[in-house]
Amino acid sequence: MGAYERFQQQQAQAAVPEPQFWNGSWDQVSSEPPPGSDQYGGEYGQPPAQQPLPNGHAPSNEYGDANLPQQSQVPSATSVRKDRPVLIPQCATGKEMPFCRAYSNGLGRFNITQRQFVQFLDVFNMIYTPHVTAELLKNTWEVMKDSPDPVTKLLGQGIFEILSKKYEGKMSKRTNLFTEFMNEQLFKPRGLNFSVVSSKDLAVKLHLPSRDLLGPITKEQFYLSVNERRVDALKAYVHPVNFEVGPPSKETAPGANAVAAGVAKKKNEEDDLANQRRKMIEKFEKEEQAKLKEQAKLDKDKVKLSSNMESYEKKLNKVNKKMGKKSDKMSDGSEVAQTAFQDKWNKKITDLEAKRQDAVKSHEKKESAFDKHNEKREKKEQKIAENDKERKLVQKLNWIFIEGA
């Protein structure tokens, strides 16, 4: 079980509205982007060598907003390709489940504000899920079409495209049409491309070494929400995202509420995963406490052994000194007396050496037992990690994937 050392922050923060909290949201969780959001240069599918993992059970505070500079000009597509993509997961498994409401400051570089992007997500979720009626889509278009905000107006035009082709009742067609329209009108002019990908395709696009997107849980992930952990596991490959975003705009609130009502039916999935993780953490911590307790005993025994070794050394020197003086006095004595004296001397030294060896062997035995217990713990922890439901369910998710065009 290891932990990640925090990255160093490198980018300046884009100006985005302060997030507000929407009590009606289905994913009210906190995830601040890690410092060092852009430490890894180069292709997003080729991260540098893995960093050492930090210790500690407390939740990491590395998901603060990534600092990105404002730019008056949209970066070229060439520079975007070498940047990391923005990744947003579905809030629950299921083909028609919506995506989390979130924002990445990486989008601020391309003149897409938090309010605009979250509004885009709200409209996309309305179109992507079956919980929004044609009438609600029409009403949303009515309030968006004359908006002074260019992105809001574009979103209204995207809805109009669906209504004009009578695709409002055809989920796949209306999603594809809206995706194509927004790519042409919003993302491609900024050197970006928006798509929805499966977990399987995501592993390929990011050139991940394994299709296991989450990997074994780390201590710093213990207290992240389900969706925070999903993004945290891929933080070396993608831009950080913040799930603490403002409430739906007045234009999208009715549709967002309809989407949230549909998601509420599957809300228990996240609760189940959270409960499963809590039990898993309890098992991990129980093993950790047992290990620490045994380690403390072993350390105490090691101190005792060191003290005993010093004591045996002093006793041995004392015996040698005392017996040496007696030996000098008996140098003129009979051979029998000298032999008896030498035997007595040797016996005292042998007894002390035997006690010293017994103490060493006793400590080595305790060390060996500790190592064996650790091996058993590691196997037990591995088994616990293999039963992590979050790692299995993430394979069924779809993801919003925004990359350089």
266 and 377 within one domain: no
Among the ranges given (28-32, 261-265, 372-376), the one the predictor scored with the smallest mean pLDDT: 28-32
Tell me whether residue 50 is in a domain: no
pLDDT at 25: 31
pLDDT, greater one: 55 or 373: 373
**C-alpha distances in Å from residue 393, one per residue of 40, 64, 93, 215, 277:** 28, 26, 7, 12, 13
Mean per-residue pLDDT over the chain, rounded: 75
Percent of the chain with pLDDT over 90: 29
243 and 121 within one domain: yes
243 and 293 within one domain: no
pLDDT at 273: 82
Range with top average pLDDT, 176-185, 224-233, 320-329, 334-343? 176-185
115 and 241 within one domain: yes
pLDDT(99) > 60: yes
SS (H, E, C) the chain: CCCCCCCCCCCCCCCCCCCCCCCCCCCCCCCCCCCCCCCCCCCCCCCCCCCCCCCCCCCCCCCCCCCCCCCCCCCCHHHHHCCCCEEEEECCCCCCCCECCCECHHHHHHCCCHHHHHHHHHHHHHHHCCCCCHHHHHHHHHHHCCCCCHHHHHHHHHHHHHHHCCCCCCHHHHHHHHHHHHHHHHHHHHCEEEEEEEHHHHHHHCCCCCCCCCCCCCHHHCCCCHHHHHHHCCCCCCCCCECCCCCCCCCCHHHHHHHHHHHHCCHHHHHHHHHHHHHHHHHHHHHHHHHHHHHHHHHHHHHHHHHHHHHHHHHHHHHHHHHHHHHHHCCCCCHHHHHHHHHHHHHHHHHHHHHHHHHHHHHHHHHHHHHHHHHHHHHHHHHHHHCCHHHHHHHHCEEEEEEEC
244 and 293 within one domain: no
pLDDT at 242: 94
Tell me whether residue 38 is in a domain: no
178 and 302 within one domain: no
pLDDT tens digit sequence for 195-206: 999 999 999 999
Instruction: Give the alpha-carbon dihedral of 311, 312, 313, 317, to 10 degrees.
Output: 100
Percent of the chain with pLDDT over 70: 75
295 and 197 within one domain: no
231 and 122 within one domain: yes
pLDDT, greater one: 155 or 380: 155
Tell me whether residue 25 is in a domain: no
Tell me whether residue 203 is in a domain: yes
Judged by phi (left if over 0) then psi (alpha if -120 to 50, else beta), residue 337 lies in alpha
201 and 143 within one domain: yes
Q: How many beta carbons lie within 10 A of that of residue 300, not counting itself? A: 10
Average pLDDT over residues 229-240: 91
pLDDT at 337: 72
Among the ranges given (55-64, 297-306, 327-336), the one the predictor scored with the smallest mean pLDDT: 55-64
**Confidence category of residue 123, pLDDT binned at 50, 70, 90:** very high
Tell me whether residue 344 is in a domain: yes
pLDDT at 151: 93
Cα–Cα dist 85/106, whole Å: 9
Cα–Cα dist 92/26, whole Å: 10
195 and 110 within one domain: yes
Supply the pTM of this predicted model. Answer: 0.61
Rg, C-alpha atoms of the chain: 33
Tell me whether residue 315 is in a domain: yes
Structural domain including 277 reads: 77-283+396-404
Tell me whether residue 66 is in a domain: no
182 and 106 within one domain: yes
**Confidence category of residue 83, pLDDT binned at 50, 70, 90:** confident
pLDDT at 214: 85
Tell me whether residue 377 is in a domain: yes
Cα–Cα dist 91/255, whole Å: 16
pLDDT(91) > 70: yes
Q: How many domains does the chain have?
A: 2
Which residues touch 7 (CB under 8 Å, ≥6 apart)? 34, 35, 36, 37, 39, 51, 62
88 and 114 within one domain: yes
